Amino acid sequence: MSTTSSLVDLPTELLVEIVSYYPHPHEFLSPLLRHEHGLQERKDRQQVLRSLSQTCGVLRRLFLPALWERLEVSKGSLLREEAVSSEVSTSLLSYVKSIHVSTAEWPASDIEPIFLLVNLLKALPNVTGLQIYHNIAWELVAAFAYAFAEASFPSITELAVPDVLEQMFPSFPNVKTLACPAIYAHSRVLSPAQQYFPHLEGISGLRLSKMLINQVRQHLPKLRAISVSSVVPPEDSDGRSHNHQPVEDDEDCRPMFTDLALLRDFKHLEELSLIYACAERDALSLPALISAGKDVLQHTSSKTFNKKLLRVWDWDWSKGFDVHPRVVYLEATV
């Protein structure tokens, strides 16, 4: 009688833990979302899941659904309709808890894949996230609006689109998180987001300025999570410097007058994501940035049983973003 054990003899709970050793695809509040197609960590995760799912039936049932959680489509795959045409994928997708669909770059003036994307989203069960590549040619904006005009996707709660596609917003009535590459003052997405996203809790892509923060507060005062996509300068827009080291009881160090401090007025705020430019002279120092972020969260009146969360993403011109942010937890206020 053989006593040899194999990988599949392990409890399911331990087998699933294998996936935790590879970074999960980034969430919509991460500045890495728009760059994740090229991240080596994403490729490593996909390769591991693909290899495990091809090993045997037991591992296939565990890891193949995880592989399909992130569905990246291109013009070629949409034309072939591989994602929904095969019997295997059609039966498999019903076992995937949530599906995130992301698109590769759209060819300029080629509208056919847009309508195929709409058909794909209609066919997919459990689709909860949609990310459309940020570099959209102006010639395609009207086609996107037309293709999505008669469609509705109530299951999608996370949406990442360039701000020129705000005419699509009515098709996503239950969006809770909205991500755009860059949201400036007078952005065309704020008013439509207020009108069509009654459940909106988080927004990503804010380019910090007093005017923008005031406009966001006017349109979306109940945000629970905010991600700032610009580097926080060492001086506010009035020229006051806040880049010295924070020390205990240093009244001058508290970021009372920085543009970032305007986020205090979002009374429901529980999560804040910031970017630290480690090689930039014209950027707030890391200690001052963390102090400013903590100050914002400590002064919001949000009552939560969970800890408030500050994420700081390191960024360098030559290296890009660090895939793992610095995380600071603030104690629950209830």
**Predicted pLDDT at 213:** 94
Cα–Cα distances in angstroms (integers) from residue 47 to residues 21, 41, 54, in the given order: 13, 10, 11
User: Can you tell me the mean pLDDT for 205-232?
Assistant: 93
pLDDT band (50, 70, 90) for residue 90: low
Out of 29, 49, 67, a domain closes at: 67
Out of 165, 199, 225, a domain closes at: 165
In whole angstroms, what is the distance from residue 224 CA to residue 236 CA? 24
Q: Summarize pLDDT for 266-278 with one digit per residue, the tens.
A: 999 999 999 998 7
Higher pLDDT, 237 or 57: 57
Out of 165, 187, 204, a domain closes at: 165
pTM reported for the whole predicted model: 0.84
**Whether residue 290 sits in one domain with residue 204:** yes
Q: Is residue 304 part of a domain?
A: yes
**Whether residue 247 sits in one domain with residue 181:** yes
97 neighbors 125 (Cβ within 8 angstroms): no
**Whether residue 332 sits in one domain with residue 205:** yes
**Whether residue 266 sits in one domain with residue 193:** yes
Q: Is residue 171 part of a domain?
A: no
Domain with residue 300: its CATH number is 3.80.10
**Whether residue 204 sits in one domain with residue 148:** no
**Predicted pLDDT at 201:** 97
Domain count, the chain: 3
Mean pLDDT for the chain overall:
81
Alpha helix positions (H), the chain: 12-17, 40-53, 57-67, 75-80, 82-85, 87-93, 112-123, 138-148, 190-196, 210-219, 286-299
**Whether residue 227 sits in one domain with residue 150:** no
Q: Summarize pLDDT for 168-202 with one digit per residue, the tens.
A: 999 999 999 999 988 999 999 999 999 999 999 99
**Whether residue 219 sits in one domain with residue 157:** no
**Which residues constitute the domain of residue 233?**
176-334
**Whether residue 285 sits in one domain with residue 198:** yes
232-239 long-range Cβ contacts below 8 angstroms, 24+ apart:
232/208, 232/258, 232/259, 232/260, 232/274, 232/275, 232/283, 232/284, 232/289, 232/292, 233/282, 233/283, 233/284, 234/282, 234/283, 234/284, 234/285, 234/288, 237/209, 237/210
Q: Summarize pLDDT for 34-69 with one digit per residue, the tens.
A: 655 556 777 788 888 888 888 888 888 888 888 888
**Whether residue 242 sits in one domain with residue 148:** no
Q: Summarize pLDDT for 280-326 with one digit per residue, the tens.
A: 777 888 999 999 999 999 988 766 667 899 999 888 776 777 767 88
**Predicted pLDDT at 204:** 94
288 neighbors 246 (Cβ within 8 angstroms): yes
Cα–Cα distances in angstroms (integers) from residue 212 to residues 32, 183, 209, 221, 266, in the given order: 22, 8, 5, 13, 13
Q: Is residue 160 part of a domain?
A: yes
Say which DSSP state 233 is in. Answer: P
**Whether residue 237 sits in one domain with residue 149:** no
Length of the chain: 334
Q: Is the pLDDT of residue 221 over 80?
A: yes
